[in-house]
Structure 1
Amino acid sequence: MKRSLALFLGLRFSHARRRGSIVSLIGMVSILGMVLSTSVLIISFSVINGFEYELNQRVLSVVPHGEIEPVSQIFSTWRSLLNVVETVPGIKAAAPYIHFSGLVQTGKRVLAVRIKGIDAQLESRISSIPFYVQGVSWQNFISGQKKILIGKGIAHSLNVKVGDWISLIVTTKNYENNILKNKKVLLQVVGLINLNGVHGNNLVYMPLIDAQNLLGMGENITGIAIKVDNPFHAEKLVHLAGEATGLYVGVRSWINSYGYMYHDIQMIRGLLYLAMVLVMGIVYFNIMSTLVIAIKDRGADIAILRTLGAKDELICSIFLWYGLLLGGVVGSTIGVLIGIVVVVNLESIFFCLEKITGYHMLSDEVYFIDFIPSKLYWFDIIIILFTALVLSLVASWYPARKAIGLCPARVLFKK
């Protein structure tokens, strides 16, 4: 009964404000501040989640989780090494590759690229790159037919399309790394890699055997790429795989090349949590100020309640509900709803802003995506709402205790 009465009176105090009262103005400012801070936090967390999701889907699903390369010997027996590497617990699959640099040319246009020779069947076990290829099916990407896959950024720079022929110029070396001569071959573009960033702008794929023949490597390869069950354990697993080969090899994981992205995302996420507390703390300072002024404004009402027999617990509960409704319920709820609506339509809003301003915010030549991603997790919403409720109660506690200390006789006498 006391709780329902305290809630009822808290609602009356928060909604039945006196016309022109400063309490009404400060209360509205507090609610608006809570709405803005909550909605901005929802949007910020969703964007961070979106970047992390896209990084998982577009980067870690394409790049090898780890690579093993020889140091002082050749990998001509790589087929048997694949079986050895795949027996290491935690490693799902392994595939050979050849890395080298070259130039692609069409007409007067020349572009420096990195070429990767792969076995299409084995590569599909460690990478989702087949799902990003436009044009010829991945199964038809076989050796001996002068086929090549290029990123869409390369195709745009050279103004070529699927079916066109381009020249590839490479410098061949012997095993002592003495330069022998340049080779120029004519290859047909049979597919475009629909990825942004490095894979879309300077990476070319060709069949493994064709790369070996072009470089005169025989059965040798540059290294072995691996895929692991848990990408965050890749650093440890790639070292175990290197030891399992029994050879003097060099190892590296995706963390060496792309780990900074994850570190940056996690750092920004931590800063957002800190910002959430600080921003909401400022907002709830306004709520505390509102309640202090409201107590002074409602001094006569409090005095009348006291003369009618209201206990300290009831008076305290009234203003706790007042502050909770002001910030934790009204402001945060409206802010969450606005944040969800913006997140759901964020991509459309982003493209509209780009069209209006004429400025491309995320260039696909630099970033692995060319849009602002968003991923809404209910856990983040619950955390934000819970924090809002807790801070509302904390901000309301001091003014509620001050309300208990009002002397009814003194207040009514002044009136």
Structure 2
Amino acid sequence: MFLPLKVGLQFSRSKKKTIMSGFISIASIVGITIGVAALIIGLSAMNGFEKEVSHRVLGVMPVVEVRSLSGYFDDADKIAEKIQDKQGITAASPGMVINAMLNHDNRYRSARITAVNAPDYRQVVSVDEFMVNRNVTLADLKPDEEGIEGPKIVLGFDLARKLEVSEGDSVELIVTKNNSNGTMSAPLGVNCRVVGIFRIGGQLDSVIAYVDLSTVRSLLGMSKNQSSSIFLKTESFFNSVNEARTAVMQLVNSGASPMGLQSWMDQAAPLYRDIQMIRTVMCLALLLVIVVSCFNIVSSLIMSVNEKRSEVAILLSMGYSRFRVMQTFVVQGLFSGIYGTVFGVLFGLVIAINLTEVINFIQNVFGIRILKSETYFMDYVPTSVNYWEVLAIASVCILIALLSAVLPGIKAAYINPAAELSGK
């Protein structure tokens, strides 16, 4: 059983090789090493981007927003409590998302105003960790009991920069209200004091602002318990819509107000499609590199077969079966694939685990910036190694190497011992 393995290893270590055969063999191992390492590094970078983007996007917006299709929920607090009791829902809080204009010294900017219930906002969003001033949280949006300070607002970094405001300045929040007859009211405005500025990265910083839910209710003339949305947090981010739909449908079927759903994926879908597309294209390209390297295994084994025709003929004449001959050369090719895969996995893991530091070193040495925080969510290259993906990559590469060695093994198995030993 172990004889083909022993003979295959002996053939692999044989010094009776031409320069070209040895070069092709080394080239195949190096090619597989580079392909495996590049695939591990690339996928780790993609995983890092996906994880970081998810963290930052979910930091500024709820996982799911349940919207009233009839205008407002008249008793939003009770509806939120009912939804929170459903399976798959970990938190629910009344809230609103409205489009508005912000004005400071005749500098106008459009904004997506997210109104949160300041006392329990942490259940559905986690903006606090992105605050420029770490001493400020969204809890500071809560109105003071005497009402002396007035409404407050938290702005995104780029939005504050374009308005040329900082903490303590005042901005005018301008909204319009839909009337019952389908028309829009005259613009309504209220001055809000900037109590904090957050910085996520990317375009979110230029469009998002936060106010307390009571500010929007007062501005639009809504009652204390009214709200147009319920913000949800679910157990699963990627299955959030299904979990929320199950919870909401139970309420709708019981006669509650008609509701619609919008998940974080609806707003971040283009970004995630781009990440997945790049991941797919990269995997295909690097797998082709590995396949080409494995074709070098075919070339080196065919040359090895031609070099060892006499040895194979002797083995066959001594009773060595043709199937074992095939196994011998398959083992020889398989070990080339294993060497390349092992070296590639080790090299790829070392770089992937320290990818952020490696990229920062390259940026510092050459004075370049690979990512710009003004365009992307971050100014560094994140990394996240998925060891199951590493195992899958290694398994696929070894399988390709195994399949590549079969054809030369079959060619060796059908050598004619009589013709080889007679010199014809």
Q: CA deviation at 1:139?
A: 3.6
Per the alignment, residue 235 of structure 1 pairs with: 241
What CA distance in whole angstroms lies between the structure 2 residues aligned with 1:174 and 1:313?
A: 81
Distance 2:39 2:306 in 1: 33
**Alignment match, 2:172:** 168
8 Å CA contact 2:95, 2:229 repeated in 1: yes
Which structure 2 residues correspond to residues 174-213 of structure 1 after superposition, within 5 A?
175-176=179-180, 177-183=183-189, 185=191, 187-213=192-218
Q: Which runs of 5+ in 1 are unaligned?
A: none
Match for residue 140 of structure 2?
A: 140
Structure 2 stretches lacking a partner, 5+ long: none
Shift of 1:208: 1.6
**Counterpart residue type for residue 228 of structure 2:** T
- SS at 1:180's partner residue? coil
8 Å contact 2:104–2:172 — kept in the other structure? no
Tell me, yes or no, if structure 1 residue 340 matches structure 2 residue 340.
no
Any idea what the Cα deviations from partners look like across 1:28-49, whole Å, max 9, x if unmatched?
Answer: 2211211121112111221232
Q: Given the alignment of the two structures, is residue 303 of structure 1 paired with residue 301 of structure 2, yes or no?
A: no
Matched residue SS, 1:285: helix
Q: Alpha carbons of 1:400 and 1:283: their partners in 2 closer, same or farther (altered >3 Å)?
A: same
Q: Taking structure 1 as reference, are residues 178 and 379 closer, same or farther at Cα in structure 2, changes over 3 Å only? A: closer
Find the counterpart in structure 1 of residue 332 from structure 2. Answer: 322
Deviations 1:8-43 (A, max 9, x none): 443343243446522112112211211121112111
Determine the structure 2 residue equivalent to 1:66: 64
Matched, 1:149 2:158: no
The aligned runs of 1:43-82 (5 Å cut-off) are 43-60=41-58, 62-82=60-80
Residue 160 of structure 1 deviates from its aligned partner by 4.3
User: Matched residue of 2:257: which SS?
Assistant: coil
Q: Residue 250 of structure 1: SS of its match in structure 2?
A: strand
The corresponding residue for 1:380 is 389
Alpha-carbon distance change, 96 to 357 in structure 1, aligned in 2, over 3 angstroms: farther
1:376 Cα deviation (Å)? 0.9
Q: Report SS of the residue matched to 1:373.
A: coil
Give aligned-pair identity as a percent.
28
Does structure 2 retain, via aligned residues, the 8 Å contact 1:67–1:253?
A: yes
State the alpha-carbon separation in 1 of the partners of residues 98 and 361 from structure 2.
41
Counterpart-to-counterpart distance in 2, 1:242 and 1:226: 11
Q: Match of 2:413? A: 404
* Runs of 4+ with deviation above 6 angstroms: none
The code of the aligned residue for 2:293 comes to: V
CA 1:242–1:319: 2 relative to 1, 3 Å? closer
Provide closer, same or farther for how the CA distance between residues 304 and 241 of structure 1 changes in structure 2, counting only shifts above 3 A.
closer
Contact 1:95 1:226 in 2 (8 A): yes
User: Which amino acid is the alignment partner of residue 65 of structure 1?
Assistant: V
Query: Which residue does 1:14 correspond to in 2?
Result: 12
Distance 2:162 2:370 in 1: 20
Count of residues in Structure 1 that have an aligned counterpart in Structure 2? 410
Task: Report the CA distance shift for 1:336/1:224 in structure 2 as closer, same or farther (over 3 A).
Answer: same
1:306 deviates by 4.1
Cα distance, 1:235–1:387 mapped onto 2, change above 3 Å: same
Give the deviation of 1:78 after TM superposition: 1.6
What CA deviation, in whole Å up to 9, does each residue of 1:236-264 have, x standing for no partner? 44444544151134332333223444455
Q: Distance in 1 between matches of 2:335 and 2:126?
A: 50
The code of the aligned residue for 2:12 comes to S
> What is the TM-score of this pair, normalised by structure 2?
0.84
Distance in 1, matches of 2:206 and 2:187, equals 26
Query: In the alignment, residue 228 of structure 1 is paired with which amino acid?
Result: T
CA RMSD of aligned residues (A): 3.0
Q: Deviation per CA, 1:125-157, whole angstroms, max 9, x where unpaired? A: 122223333431444331143432112232444
Q: Deviations over 1:109-137 (max 9, x none)?
A: 54332222211222211222233334314
2:302 to 292, 298, 307: 292
Q: Give the match for residue 223 of structure 1.
A: 229
The more displaced of 137-146 and 339-348 is: 137-146
Which one is further off, 281-290 or 225-234? Answer: 225-234
Q: Residues of 2 paired with 1:221 and 1:344: CA distance?
A: 46
Partners of 2:140 and 2:195 within 8 A in 1: no
User: Which of 38, 41, 62 is equivalent to 2:39?
Assistant: 41
